[in-house]
Amino acid sequence: MNTFWHNLPTPFTVLAPMDGVTDMVFRQIVTQIGKPDVLFTEFTSCDGLMSEGRKRVEQNLLFEPNEQPIVAQIWGANPKNFYETAKHIKKLGFSGIDINMGCPHRPVVKNGSCSALIKNQPLAAEIIKATKEGADGLPVSVKTRIGFETENIDEWIGFLLKQNLAALTVHLRTVAELSKVPAHWELMPKILEMRKKYAPETVIIGNGDITCLKEINEKYKKYGCEGFMIGQGVFANPWIFDNSREKADITVEERFEILLRHINLYEKTWGKKKNYANLKKFCKAYINNFPDASRYREKIMEVKSLAELREEVIKLSHVTQCHPDQA
């Protein structure tokens, strides 16, 4: 196999798909301040893309060329819609397609999608086959967990490794564990042994609890998987993928400047298509790690519109510049 996955540096970094978080705006900010080696879109419904409401769903698939290599993550339970969606994604110019087989949310599991596929191997195999056919040479990968109720890598990861995937991301928790227990990195050596046996060409990405690049180097030495995916860590520190900087190096001024950049790009990209209130959760990502940060965030949380939010952020950034001791 010779796909973009096979031509990345090792170890490589991946921005995790996060619904409601990793839209094009946040990915643009991350790309500008510290770009990971691979980016994923939020998960996107194949059924939604094939429905009358496709325009709204398609917003998830917006990206800029500077985000490449970027992978579109899709979910559903209907192989025909995976086939059509994969054809569409290829036309849009993505570098790869990833199938979500790990999301634990009840509504998607109830409809037989995402992590429900861990319990339905025949449908999982059909979906992978249909996606590959539609992808027409674009690399197809899967993101999953280590089992449903209990760890089941022998059967489930073994099954996936036999599907000739370009890459496989393993979030090292069961579905039942949600994010409530530490990720089981101790299982990675066994997964890599299985890869050697069943699918030497499938690139393996580990995921769960990574909070800085230093940890990646340690885990790479200890476990040896090629890729490391970071989700919530980027929310705690959006500069996480910049290996030249520590969290403590980011000045208060820069934090406000990047938040303002995010707000302006959000307005330019989404206008009224998305609620301004989504932006509030990003305030925590940028405005932290300095004295009194929580007091500044509280002020930001009180705003009632995007215009007010921008005004408040500008005002607070001036206060911190004039009175750095307050920051």
Ligand X SMILES: Cc1cc2nc3c(=O)[nH]c(=O)nc-3n(C[C@H](O)[C@H](O)[C@H](O)COP(=O)(O)O)c2cc1C
Question: Closer to ligand X at the Cβ: 262 or 310?
Answer: 262
Kindly state whether residue 238 participates in binding ligand X, applying the rule CB under 6 A.
no
Is 103 an annotated catalytic residue? yes
Judged by CB under 6 A, the residue of 42, 47, 226, 267 near ligand X is 42
Judged by CB under 6 A, the residue of 31, 100, 115, 320 near ligand X is 100
Residue bearing tokens 């820069």: 254
Question: Closer to ligand X at the Cβ: 143 or 262?
Answer: 143
Stretch that binds ligand X, among 76-84, 155-163, 227-235, 247-255 (CB under 6 A): 227-235
Of residues 189-208, those binding ligand X (CB under 6 A): 207-208
Task: Give the nearest distance from C-beta 325 to ligand X in angstroms.
Answer: 35
| Long-range CB contacts (within 8 A, 24+) of 214-219 | 216/11, 216/13, 217/11, 219/11, 219/185, 219/188
Which DSSP category does 42 fall into?
P
Of residues 57-86, those binding ligand X (CB under 6 A): 73
Task: Give the nearest distance from C-beta 3 to ligand X in angstroms.
Answer: 19
Q: How far apart are CA 101 and CA 18, in angstroms?
A: 14
Kindly state whether residue 230 participates in binding ligand X, applying the rule CB under 6 A.
yes
Length of the chain: 327
Asked whether the bond before 65 is cis by omega within 30 degrees of 0, the reply is no
Q: How far apart are CA 157 and CA 206, in angstroms?
A: 13
Judged by CB under 6 A, the residue of 11, 102, 104, 147 near ligand X is 102
**Spatial contact of 70 and 41, defined as CB atoms under 8 Å apart:** yes
Which DSSP category does 156 fall into?
H
Please identify which of the residues 103, 114, 225, 283 carries the catalytic annotation. 103
Question: Closer to ligand X at the Cβ: 19 or 257?
Answer: 19
For ligand X (CB under 6 A), the number of binding residues is 22
Kindly state whether residue 216 participates in binding ligand X, applying the rule CB under 6 A.
no
Q: Torsion angle of alpha carbons 222, 224, 229, 231, nearest 10°? A: -10
Q: How far apart are CA 68 and CA 95, in angstroms?
A: 7
Q: How many CA atoms lie within 13 A of 315 on its CB side?
A: 11
Judged by CB under 6 A, the residue of 34, 76, 206, 233 near ligand X is 233
Task: Give the nearest distance from C-beta 159 to ligand X in angstroms.
Answer: 18
Stretch that binds ligand X, among 13-21, 121-129, 217-225, 265-273 (CB under 6 A): 13-21
Question: Closer to ligand X at the Cβ: 16 or 199?
Answer: 16
**Among 117, 109, 124, 107, which Cα is nearest to 147's?**
117
3-state secondary structure at position 231: coil
Judged by CB under 6 A, the residue of 79, 104, 231, 238 near ligand X is 231
Residues sharing a CB contact under 8 Å with residue 93, sequence separation 6 or more, in sequence order: none
Which DSSP category does 101 fall into?
E
Of residues 170-189, those binding ligand X (CB under 6 A): 171
Question: Closer to ligand X at the Cβ: 183 or 263?
Answer: 183
Of residues 250-289, those binding ligand X (CB under 6 A): none
Judged by CB under 6 A, the residue of 232, 269, 278, 288 near ligand X is 232
Residue bearing tokens 């925590």: 284
Residue bearing tokens 């939020």: 42
**Spatial contact of 195 and 204, defined as CB atoms under 8 Å apart:** yes
Q: How far apart are CA 64 and CA 87, in angstroms?
A: 19
Kindly state whether residue 143 participates in binding ligand X, applying the rule CB under 6 A.
yes
Kindly state whether residue 147 participates in binding ligand X, applying the rule CB under 6 A.
no
Binding site for ligand X (CB under 6 A): 16-21, 42-43, 73, 100, 102-103, 143, 171, 207-210, 230-233
- Known catalytic residues are 103
